[in-house]
Amino acid sequence: MQFNIINIPKLKSTNSYAQELIESGDLHEGDVISTQYQKNGRGQGDNFWESEHGSNLLVSIILEPSMVPAQRQFVLTQIVSLALVDLIKEYILTEEVKIKWPNDIYVNKNKIAGILFQNFVKGNHIEFSIAGIGINVNQKKYYSEVPNPISIIHHSNSPTNLKVLLDKLLDKIGFNYETYRLKENFEELKSKYVINLYRYNEWATYSDGNNPFQGKIFDIDEFGRLEVMMKSGEEKKFMFKEIEFVE
Ligand code: BTN
């Protein structure tokens, strides 16, 4: 897969910018919007994505995944999160790198990267997808409300070159994406994703908004819902925002 990096030093948000250009027909599969600073970096929900000028990786990758059925769009989350885990493991060798469901990347108990997907569905297929990716790389201190951020620099002796990091990221995403296009390897992606989940197969405390409970993550379904076993043996499925990880 060919990528075409478009760097704009300062933006409101790479995702918002990508969305505007997609709507005007100016962006296509493989285009990557990258920036050094976002005035209004967007996280999940209404969250702000903090990133000091020039320190971190901030990109939006444009895909036209016409081969992905709309109801299987979670496969894109798997493709990108697995690429991120693989990438971050190359930089942080001695710690645990995991996916906190659905798409946060954690080093031990700290968040190192996040993904903001925007999928544009047409009929039964996805016409465009914007994969907005933020990786905390060289920033040493965080000031906003983010509960537990960490950067690659906290686990390495020297600053990381952002261009090299981006090239490696694109290689890994491209590889996973092309493999999926050729083989439709749903099962393989799912099992890799599941075994890389933070707290996979461990008893831990969760909350469904009202009550804390003990549960064990054991799988996800084809829609990306999290499957959790209760102490009673009952199995429950959760959509995003229906379950909270309690520390
Ligand atoms: C999250 O974990 O809440 C998702 C964070 C996604 C942040 C990235 S940074 C580049 C891209 N542009 C944005 O405005 N957000 C994403």
Question: What is the tens place of the pLDDT at every residue in 73-91?
Answer: 999 999 999 999 999 999 9
pLDDT at 142: 95
Q: Which residue is closest in CA terms to ligand 1's atom 10?
A: 58
Q: Which residue is closest in CA terms to ligand 1's atom 9?
A: 134
Distances from the Cα of 192 to the Cα of 58, 75, 216, 228, angstroms? 25, 12, 18, 17
Structure tokens at 105: 């990347």
Q: Which atom of ligand 1 is nearest to the CA of 133?
A: 8
pLDDT at 120: 96
Q: Determine contact, residues 243/228, Cβ cutoff 8 Å.
A: yes
Dist. CA 233 → ligand 1 center (Å): 37
Does any ligand 1 atom lie closer than 6 A to the CB of residue 38?
yes
Contacts of 192 (CB under 8 A, 6+ apart): 78, 82
Residues making up the chain, counted from first to last: 247
Q: Please name every residue paired with 115 in a beta bridge, in sequence order, or none if there are none.
A: 133
Q: Which atom of ligand 1 is nearest to the CA of 59?
A: 10
Dist. CA 49 → ligand 1 center (Å): 6
Does any ligand 1 atom lie closer than 6 A to the CB of residue 43?
yes
Q: Which residue is closest in CA terms to ligand 1's atom 2?
A: 114
Q: Which atom of ligand 1 is nearest to the CA of 41?
A: 14
pTM: 0.97
Q: Which atom of ligand 1 is nearest to the CA of 104?
A: 2
Dist. CA 133 → ligand 1 center (Å): 5
Q: Please name every residue paired with 120 in a beta bridge, in sequence order, or none if there are none.
A: 128
Distances from the Cα of 217 to the Cα of 30, 159, 243, angstroms? 34, 35, 11
List of the chain residues with pLDDT < 70: none
